[in-house]
């Protein structure tokens, strides 16, 4: 038997040096864009020529627009109907400013448990259902997981680890990350007070550069005219707290934290129950630590009570909701709790 000879046809594939160089540059650009950079940031290097086969999108912009509008609209309709009057006022105020494209800087204060995250989710769904870009960030990694599409502020804005009063974010004009900030309609920053003030100043300078508002307006328009909605939680940090891990300071952690001289996060009171002051409010009027009272009227900001002991026994007094900070030197971090300075006691 004769063996059949197989005939192999070899095609001569040839890529000239210029085309090979362009393909290499395309691969480099792809790698850089995946990491938030671009060859455009390096003037000493050539930029590739893209054909229709290589239609690169800004990954940061694409990710923020990759939301199903119908699904976002459904989520928004479910959330907005459950807003309280106070939450609805905040929601409408911010939404109107974004839709009118006027820019604005908002600061929302609320202790843990006031459903700030619910407001963030409602605003995010409302704007994303309309095709707007919303950047949700938080000062800690754990808190960012509670926000839809959330990331840490350092990651989103490329904030430097070692920062001072003249720092800017590591954002270059024309880079993919800078372009995503330029196209953003709303920036929500949760747990804002947990970071050094220089972080916000750095973002302010960088956004003024990116939006090119510095030369015309200076710093009269905060954050380059972007709508920023900062959340003020109850933790506070100072320079001496630099050794404390910021990710510990979640709302859940602070709400559960107990220390001497600070009331509980949640106090269940009703008219007729006995209470005791745990702070000196007015010693002349007999309102000092240990004063016992009985509740007459409960409001959101004031407790009306009758004093049960001391020189002012039988008198009616008013106890305000206060911002209280622990004075215990052993606590390595600073935080603030806004609550009535009282505790429930048994008769």
Residue linked to tokens 């953003």: 184
Q: Are residues 197 and 307 in the same domain?
A: no
With bands split at pLDDT 50, 70 and 90, how would you rate the model's confidence at 252? low
The predicted model gives 328-332 an average pLDDT of: 61
Q: Are residues 83 and 212 in the same domain?
A: yes
Q: Are residues 232 and 121 in the same domain?
A: yes
Q: Are residues 272 and 133 in the same domain?
A: no
Q: Are residues 94 and 214 in the same domain?
A: yes
Q: Are residues 297 and 149 in the same domain?
A: no
Burial of 73 (0-12, 13-18, 19+ CB in 10 A): middle
Calpha distance 341→277 (Å, rounded)? 6
Q: Are residues 318 and 279 in the same domain?
A: yes
Q: Are residues 136 and 178 in the same domain?
A: yes
pLDDT digits (tens, 9 = 90+) for 210-248: 887 755 444 457 777 777 776 655 444 443 444 555 555
Q: Are residues 106 and 169 in the same domain?
A: yes
pLDDT digits (tens, 9 = 90+) for 166-204: 888 888 777 778 888 888 888 888 877 777 888 888 888
Q: Are residues 231 and 274 in the same domain?
A: no
Range of the domain at 26: 17-56
Q: Are residues 68 and 52 in the same domain?
A: no
Cα-based distances in Å from 316 to 297, 309, 319, 342: 11, 12, 10, 16
pLDDT digits (tens, 9 = 90+) for 117-141: 888 888 888 888 888 888 888 877 7
pLDDT digits (tens, 9 = 90+) for 87-123: 888 888 888 888 887 777 787 776 666 678 888 888 8
Tally of structural domains, the chain: 3
How many residues would you count in the chain?
347
Q: Are residues 124 and 222 in the same domain?
A: yes
Calpha distance 171→209 (Å, rounded)? 10
């Amino acid at each position: 038997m004769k063996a059949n000879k197989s005939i192999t046809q070899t095609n001569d594939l040839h890529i000239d040096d210029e085309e090979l160089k362009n393909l290499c540059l395309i691969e480099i650009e792809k790698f850089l864009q995946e990491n938030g950079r671009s060859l455009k940031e390096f003037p000493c290097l050539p930029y590739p020529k893209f054909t229709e086969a290589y239609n690169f999108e800004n990954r940061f912009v694409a990710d923020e627009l990759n939301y199903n509008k119908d699904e976002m609209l459904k989520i928004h309709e479910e959330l907005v109907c459950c807003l309280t009057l106070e939450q609805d006022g905040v929601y409408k105020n911010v939404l109107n400013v974004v839709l009118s494209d006027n820019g604005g800087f908002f600061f929302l204060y609320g202790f843990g448990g006031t459903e700030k995250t619910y407001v963030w989710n409602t605003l995010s769904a409302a704007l994303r259902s309309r095709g707007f870009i919303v950047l949700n960030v938080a000062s800690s990694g754990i808190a960012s997981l509670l926000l839809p599409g959330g990331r840490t502020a350092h990651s989103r804005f490329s904030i430097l680890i070692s920062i001072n009063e003249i720092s800017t974010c590591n954002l270059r004009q024309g880079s993919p990350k800078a372009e995503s900030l330029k196209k953003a309609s709303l920036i929500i920053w949760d747990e804002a007070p947990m970071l050094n003030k220089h972080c916000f100043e750095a973002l302010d300078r960088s956004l003024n550069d990116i939006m090119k508002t510095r030369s015309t307006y200076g710093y009269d328009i905060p954050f380059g005219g972007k709508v920023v909605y900062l959340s003020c939680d109850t933790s506070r940090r100072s320079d001496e707290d630099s050794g404390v891990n910021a990710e510990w300071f979640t709302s859940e952690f602070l709400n559960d934290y107990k220390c001497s001289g600070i009331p509980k996060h949640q106090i269940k009171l009703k008219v007729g129950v006995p209470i005791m002051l745990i702070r000196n409010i007015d010693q002349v009027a007999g309102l000092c630590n240990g004063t016992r009272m009985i509740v007459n009227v409960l409001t959101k900001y004031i407790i009306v009570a009758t004093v049960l002991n001391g020189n002012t026994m039988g008198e009616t007094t008013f106890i305000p909701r206060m911002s209280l900070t622990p004075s215990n030197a052993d606590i390595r971090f600073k935080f603030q709790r806004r609550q009535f300075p009282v505790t429930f006691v048994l008769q």
